[in-house]
A and B are shown apart, each in its own frame.
Chain A
């Protein structure tokens, strides 16, 4: 009897060890995938990066020169997208977190936000084409692209802002209301400042998302090639993600332009992950400093 118990116990611990190994291994595979990907991109891309690469436009039908117009285009599109999504997203989140009571209406809004978050990026592209480019006659330009990217990142910003607002302790609101301050003033003076770091983190993650998307801008804003910088929001622009796609798939010089492709990929990844890292650092800093 004792023996049976012993072996059974051993077997149970053996199973546990086996399971833990598999679990650790899967986490390791994911870490290696990220490490391998980033390492490969950095090793191959770093030699292409130079001051000229970052500050000159492409030349010789995009086989030489730099990527400056694409960097500038991506900056414009991303700033435009955030300008659209941030006020709208924070306002939505304030309603959801501070004003709305449980019920049918809030369910509808919540399902709407969730579904919007799940819309495939290429469908945003189609919508941008059908609505902004064709129906509103904006044409393919920064404005159309920024609006399309803006609604794409809207759910991200709503989600992060709502979470940040809800993390502000209820007692803060109660203290303010007890002093006779109105609800709006409480939100504006007490809740928002305390939720600001969380909202910022979410918005920065949204910026990273907007900067890296390709499909939504393919038919709404991105140009194959423009040597000069955009003069107004009704101009087409080059964009880093689209530039990578174009160089890697189209044209007759795919092999010849590999260094430029690696360089562009490195700049794009550096930009997006750099922005994400800033968000992650801010968040962990704020968590450590939290006073409540």
Chain B
């Protein structure tokens, strides 16, 4: 083999490895469908998605995951109500306001927060937040939507903050200088020049944060309460999709309807988060800042 052929050979090997991610993604889809699709012999797609009753162990069983989808959506929305302002504002603090020394500390804090295992946050929600909510609002249980949303917000903040920070950082300094030159205050510059210029990046951050919250398992498994019903208040328990999968997979007999239904729930969860990720990817590519010449 001469030198040129060797180079081509090496390049081919690396190309093969690079495709591993795509291959794994394809395998994930394939095996979710392989184990999930058989449920649709027992129940129609519409009844599965929009059925109000999730009684997989009853006789006859009822496989309607609407309460689970609803539970996932509601904790995701509520957690974002907390995580988006905190995440974006902390990014503004780090990139625009903080003195250098505090900036590095704040960044490390957010990085450490991202590193805390989800089971630990779930545990914290169970032993600290739940009793607090229960006592404060005089409820039968503190394991509910509010609790799950607060803990999920803690998980989503690092994602939102670090991606927003990158976006803010990428805004060309000419923009800032031009704004100051016109006599704008620092606040006006941030609110009317920097934030709008970074908007696509911040949107990406928010969407990825939502995807993170929606896919998070241990937190909702431990603190959402687990009631598979449409909630009537924010102090009701819910059973989001990941919680249902994680809690029931251990007991579902291999190859049973229940087993396939849980995989089918996994398909729904996978595609919901995939859509979030593709939207985020699209936004970040479409509105990519390529220097000050773009505006």
A interface residues (Cβ-Cβ under 8 A, vs B) = 12-13, 15-16, 19-20, 22-24, 26-27, 29-31, 33-34, 37, 40-41, 88, 91-92, 94-96, 98-100, 108-109, 111-127, 129-131, 134-135, 151, 154-155, 158, 182-184, 205, 208-209, 211-215, 218-219, 241-242, 244-245, 248-249, 258, 261, 265, 268-269, 272-273, 276-277, 280, 284
Q: How many A-B residue pairs have CB under 8 A?
A: 257
Residues of B within 8 A of A122 (CB): 215, 217, 242, 245-246, 266, 269
Q: Which residue of A lies closest to B265 (CB)?
A: A126
Residues of A within 8 A of B98 (CB): 27
Bound CA–CA A127/B249 (angstroms): 12
Q: Which of A108, A113, A272 contacts B116 (CB 8 A)?
A: A272
Residues of A within 8 A of B15 (CB): 95, 99-100
By Cβ-Cβ distance, the 4 closest A-B pairs, closest first, are A120-B215, A212-B117, A16-B187, A112-B22
Closest CB in chain A relative to B187 CB, distance in Å: 4
Q: Most chain-B CB neighbours within 10 Å: which of A112, A209, A248, A265?
A: A112
User: Is B31 in contact with A121, judged by CB distance below 8 angstroms?
Assistant: no
Closest CB in chain B relative to A71 CB, distance in Å: 14
User: Is B97 in contact with A23, judged by CB distance below 8 angstroms?
Assistant: yes
Residues of B within 8 A of A155 (CB): 21
User: Is B269 in contact with A123, judged by CB distance below 8 angstroms?
Assistant: yes
B interface residues (Cβ-Cβ under 8 A, vs A) = 3, 6-7, 10-11, 13-15, 17-22, 24-25, 27-28, 31-32, 34-35, 85-86, 89-90, 92-94, 97-98, 104, 106, 108-113, 115-124, 126-128, 154, 157, 161, 185-188, 190-191, 208, 211, 214-218, 221-222, 242, 245-246, 249-250, 254, 262-263, 266, 269-270, 273-274, 276-278, 281
Residues of B within 8 A of A158 (CB): 21
Q: Are A131 and B27 CB-contacts (below 8 A) given A12-B188, A23-B92, A215-B246?
A: yes
Bound CA–CA A211/B116 (angstroms): 10
Q: Which of B120, B187, B250, B273 contacts A119 (CB 8 A)?
A: B273
Bound CA–CA A273/B113 (angstroms): 9
User: Is A116 in contact with B21, judged by CB distance below 8 angstroms?
Assistant: yes
Q: Are A37 and B217 CB-contacts (below 8 A) given A16-B185, A116-B24, A182-B7?
A: no
Q: Which residue of B lies closest to A266 (CB)?
A: B120
User: Is A33 in contact with B154, judged by CB distance below 8 angstroms?
Assistant: yes
Closest CB in chain B relative to A290 CB, distance in Å: 16
Closest CB in chain A relative to B194 CB, distance in Å: 12
User: Is B217 in contact with A120, judged by CB distance below 8 angstroms?
Assistant: yes
User: Is A218 in contact with B250, judged by CB distance below 8 angstroms?
Assistant: yes
Residues of B within 8 A of A118 (CB): 208, 211, 215, 273-274, 276-277
User: Is B21 in contact with A109, judged by CB distance below 8 angstroms?
Assistant: yes
Residues of B within 8 A of A13 (CB): 185
Q: Are A114 and B281 CB-contacts (below 8 A) given A212-B120, A280-B108?
A: yes
Closest CB in chain A relative to B173 CB, distance in Å: 19
Bound CA–CA A241/B157 (angstroms): 22
User: Is B274 in contact with A269, judged by CB distance below 8 angstroms?
Assistant: no
Residues of B within 8 A of A33 (CB): 113, 154
Q: Which of A16, A29, A96, A111 contacts B281 (CB 8 A)?
A: A111
Q: Which of A16, A120, A269 contacts B273 (CB 8 A)?
A: A120
User: Is B120 in contact with A269, judged by CB distance below 8 angstroms?
Assistant: yes
Provide a sorted-by-A list of 29 A–B residue pairs whose CB atoms are within 8 angstroms.
Answer: A16-B187, A16-B188, A27-B89, A30-B161, A109-B19, A112-B19, A114-B281, A115-B25, A116-B25, A119-B274, A120-B269, A121-B242, A122-B242, A123-B215, A125-B217, A125-B245, A125-B249, A130-B31, A154-B20, A155-B21, A209-B115, A212-B118, A212-B119, A214-B119, A214-B217, A245-B222, A248-B122, A248-B222, A273-B115
Residues of B within 8 A of A218 (CB): 246, 249-250
Residues of B within 8 A of A124 (CB): 28
Q: Which residue of A lies closest to B110 (CB)?
A: A30
User: Is A41 in contact with B120, judged by CB distance below 8 angstroms?
Assistant: yes
Q: Most chain-A CB neighbours within 10 Å: which of B32, B250, B266?
A: B266
User: Is B215 in contact with A130, judged by CB distance below 8 angstroms?
Assistant: no
Q: Which residue of A lies closest to B218 (CB)?
A: A214
Q: Most chain-A CB neighbours within 10 Å: which of B27, B120, B221?
A: B120
